[in-house]
Structure 1
């Protein structure tokens, strides 16, 4: 269907505010751009309380924020959340409203993790942090008020990359039980391009230059982009993965890889709930100040996660 009129208006506003760069965007420019974009998130969750802490990762202490929705049981389902930002940008702060909204919608105690970013810390630092953080939450679940048997792993954009990798790795690890994975506008393939990456390479929120710059900053030389820890879509062993909740957007450059991953998981016998949102763009779930569909998808995710963890 056509691009949603409000999404089109948003893209026009953003293009006017930040004309297309003629050269590779700097890391600082990409970080500032994401921070400004996340100001469009209108995801009020007044009944969610927070507390901050740190956990020990493979490269040092990692900050986290625990979100507790009102009425949560002494042991509630848990949700480990990894923020997006191309693995070079984003933080607990940029995604604070989204994390709170997800805690509110899902009824989970949500742990938002601040993993190491490139180019200061290149692959596999973020992957190692995500795995370590998930293992830490599982170990410390009781002290966090989380039922370790009802743990969801999720993220948006590049955070969904990490969530998918964590779930693939956990499937090979005894003792780590994941109830579901939740992938929102996931980035899943850097090995090959796709029709959606070509069709929406410019002017659709995230452009080819930014994607290429993020990948260049993230990957050291010599790393195979077909490595499933880089491109989860390229994994060949998908049986035994946790049930998947996947949300993609029609006008997202990463649409096709998210849709393809849903199909591959289904073919491997994994339970999948997949919705491709007509007329929407990348990261639309975080644009509630402009797009009514943002609140709708957060509510939908809430219902799906509650079913998965039987909340």
Structure 2
């Protein structure tokens, strides 16, 4: 049974419903993204979405790929020298909106708390760039970062991936491709309320169709916009839960929210990894909604979760040599 939502979370959800156009009603996706940016940059928005940790220095780099360049936000721990472990983080937003900056509260704290560098690449967004554009961008960005580790001051032997929601999907796909396609050897994957099944509905979505922040209708709209003509595909690059094998994947930390239609996505992925013998830490955070890691100002669970992520990354990525 879900724990009650904190009053401030409910108040924020009510305000969000009034200020933001639901994705299923949107026709201008550039304006949808601009709405989100205006909300984040407003004074109340900064209180809700949090501010970056000053113990981590932020910079922007460009990742040149074939026919395109991706911008990436880098958080480096201050006062730490030598090649650093690296976490490559993929932002959420339903593959339709979002940016590396929306994860800055989280990524800066992971950098400051672990001593690892955290790099958050952008990726092309749907519906202008449907599947597999985001998959290609995040996979190629991961490979580029590993290839240029020396010039970036990174220790490629201590590398992991992280992502929330749509970014959790992309992180899980990247971890699978690293094993299946001979990519970088990853020591860990942090999957924050990941969307790992794009077509079938699990019990949590049927039980909680109208939760704050993310509804079943939102989920369906995001999936159709992202997959386009490929909607309904069984391709594990879209739905990593459909992979033929989970063998040899890196240890995982899967975080879920109890007021989230995606709750069972994370739980089913935990089961799949555990059946394959992959070490998994799993935690469901009480009294939280989808996206709570991006809402530290209204979700007390965010501070608890970031502490857990720091501990996991420190143990699985930073310490091993």
Instruction: Give the TM-score taking structure 2 as reference length.
Output: 0.90
Q: Deviations over 1:252-282 (max 9, x none)?
A: 1100011110111011010111111122110
Q: Partners of 1:58 and 1:258 in 2: how far apart?
A: 33
User: Which residue of structure 1 lines up, in the alignment, with residue 79 of structure 2?
Assistant: 71
Counterpart mapping for 1:185-200 below 5 A = 185-200=193-208
**Aligned positions, number:** 310
| 8 Å CA contact 2:91, 2:98 repeated in 1 | yes
Q: TM-score, normalised by structure 1?
A: 0.92
Q: How does 1:171-182 map to 2 (within 5 A)?
A: 171-174=179-182, 176-182=184-190
Could you list the runs of 5+ residues in structure 2 that have no partner in the other structure? none
For 2:304 and 2:164, the matched residues in 1 are separated by 16
CA shift, 1:92, in A, is 2.2
- The CA distance in 1 between the partners of 2:101 and 2:148, in whole Å, is 23
Q: Which residue of 138, 141, 152 corresponds with 1:144? A: 152
Deviation at 1:28, TM superposition (A): 3.9
- After the TM superposition, which of the residue ranges 200-209 and 85-94 deviates more from structure 2? 200-209
**Contact 2:75–2:118 (CA<8 Å) still a contact in 1?**
yes
Map of 2:95 onto structure 1: 87
Q: Which moved more, 1:191-200 or 1:99-108?
A: 99-108
* In 2, Cα distance between equivalents of 1:16 and 1:46: 32
Match for 2:11 among 9, 14, 36? 9
* Mapped contact 2:49–2:102 kept (Cα < 8 A): no
Report the RMSD for the aligned CA atoms in angstroms. Answer: 2.1
Q: Are residues 1:263 and 2:265 paired?
A: no
Distance in structure 2 (CA, Å) of the matches to 1:258 and 1:168: 16
Runs of 4+ that moved beyond 4 A: 20-23
1:188-267 mapped onto 2 (5 Å cutoff): 188-222=196-230, 224-267=232-275
Which one has a larger percent helix, Structure 1 or Structure 2?
2
